A and B are shown apart, each in its own frame.
Chain A
Amino acid sequence: MKNNDMRQQLVQLGNGAHAMATQILGNTDDAADAVHDVFAKVLRKPHVYNADKGPFTPWFLRVVRNHCIDLIRRRHPGGVDVETLSDPGPGPQTSLEIAQRDQALQLALTKLPDLQRQIIVLRDYMDLSYAEIASVLNIAQGTVMSRLHRARMALKEELDRHG
């Protein structure tokens, strides 16, 4: 892939990657830093991406996700189960920044387990296919539907409870 094409794709993926990183790290500033780090890494070594192994979007999101998990592991050297990582919730700055309508949604998302938040963002916010989601999250494609459904039902319950 040409460098300019890659830059253009990265710009378009920036917000989605940021939304996903926010769900993992629980903080928009840390998430933005993480996405910038990955941008720099990818642009420094663009040959690392092999187009024969699949499309760019899931590959890039997987790199972002792995980077975020590395950051969390560095914060908690004792070991963290990223599958069940509970979120600290949005900081006060985050709550002020987001619109009121989305605030309830963001808050409800923070109540879900880490993987459920990510799967919802990947599907409903970024519009990835089940195959791409499986690739990003490194899970079997056959389990995406059931996981996503559980996540949506859990989110719906949270929203019903708190608005």
Chain B
Amino acid sequence: MVNEKRPLEKHVGELLSGFIDGELTQQQRQWVTLHCDECDECRQDLARLQALRERIGNARLSEVGEDQWRENMNDPIVQSSRSIGWLLIIAGMLVIAGIGLFAFIFGSDLSIGEKLLMIAVYGGLASLFFSVLRQRLIERKTDKYKDVEI
């Protein structure tokens, strides 16, 4: 009955796309199946279209990773205000540290030996702190499980 409505000489055309996409009615699917059994041209077109669809589906049309989308998702205003905040805190701490160091070297009554000893102790602590901080920052950057929520 279907064949009476749609003779074989009339190719199925766009229905091939609907067929591979699963967007046809049952009657249309039957018609495409019957037609492709008889028509070499449409059968070849169907195979080519399926191969093309698979090729596009497997292609990498975007090289951007999910992590990059996640990182860039923060609001730019939040990001910039956070950067400014950190900048101000670090600048303030550096100024305070500079004033403290100046007062310690030129203003205190300690001898040069005692001053050098103090500088060595605090310098060592600062060096250890920055070493641990650097290691943590590197780990944080390369840790692929950092976004896993527990």
Q: Which A residues fall within an 8 A CB radius of B?
A: 7, 10-12, 14-16, 18-19, 22, 28, 32, 35-36, 39-40, 43-44, 97-99, 101-102, 105-106, 120-121, 123-125, 127, 129-130, 145-146, 148-150, 152, 155-156, 159
- Specify which chain B residues have a CB less than 8 angstroms from the CB of A35 in the assembled complex: 69
Say whether, besides A102-B60, A124-B57, A148 and B17 are in contact (CB < 8 Å): yes
B114 within 8 A of A: no
B48 within 8 A of A: yes
**A121's contact among B53, B61, B76, by CB below 8 Å, is which?**
B61
- Specify which chain A residues have a CB less than 8 angstroms from the CB of B38 in the assembled complex: none
Cβ contacts A to B, 9 pairs, < 8 Å: A14-B62, A14-B66, A39-B73, A40-B73, A44-B75, A125-B59, A149-B16, A149-B18, A152-B52
Contact B56 A124 (CB under 8 A): yes
**B69's contact among A39, A97, A102, A123, by CB below 8 Å, is which?**
A39
Q: Which B residues fall within an 8 A CB radius of A?
A: 13-18, 21, 23, 48-49, 52-53, 55-57, 59-64, 66, 68-70, 72-73, 75-76
**A120's contact among B16, B56, B69, B72, by CB below 8 Å, is which?**
B56
- Specify which chain A residues have a CB less than 8 angstroms from the CB of B61 in the assembled complex: 15, 19, 22, 102, 106, 121, 125
Contact B73 A10 (CB under 8 A): yes
> In the complex the two chains form, what is the Cα distance from A79 to B88 in whole Å?
46
Question: Of all chain A residues, which has the CB nearest B61?
Answer: A19
> In the complex the two chains form, what is the Cα distance from A9 to B13 in whole Å?
36
- Specify which chain B residues have a CB less than 8 angstroms from the CB of A145 in the assembled complex: 14-15, 17-18, 21, 23
Contact B62 A19 (CB under 8 A): yes
> In the complex the two chains form, what is the Cα distance from A68 to B147 in whole Å?
30
- Specify which chain A residues have a CB less than 8 angstroms from the CB of B66 in the assembled complex: 11-12, 14-15
Residue from B21, B53, B60, B62 whose CB has the most chain A CB atoms within 10 Å? B62
Across the A-B interface, give the 10 residue pairs with the lowest CB-CB distance, nearest first. A14-B69, A149-B14, A124-B56, A19-B61, A149-B17, A18-B62, A15-B62, A19-B62, A102-B59, A146-B14
Q: A15-B69, A22-B61, A101-B59 are in contact. List 14 more A-B contacts (CB 8 A).
A: A11-B66, A11-B70, A19-B62, A44-B75, A98-B63, A105-B59, A121-B56, A145-B23, A146-B14, A148-B21, A149-B16, A149-B18, A156-B48, A156-B52
Contact A28 B14 (CB under 8 A): no
> In the complex the two chains form, what is the Cα distance from A102 to B62 in whole Å?
11
- Specify which chain A residues have a CB less than 8 angstroms from the CB of B18 in the assembled complex: 145, 149
- Specify which chain B residues have a CB less than 8 angstroms from the CB of A39 in the assembled complex: 69, 72-73
Question: Of all chain B residues, which has the CB nearest A97?
Answer: B63
Contact A22 B62 (CB under 8 A): yes
**B75's contact among A16, A40, A148, by CB below 8 Å, is which?**
A40
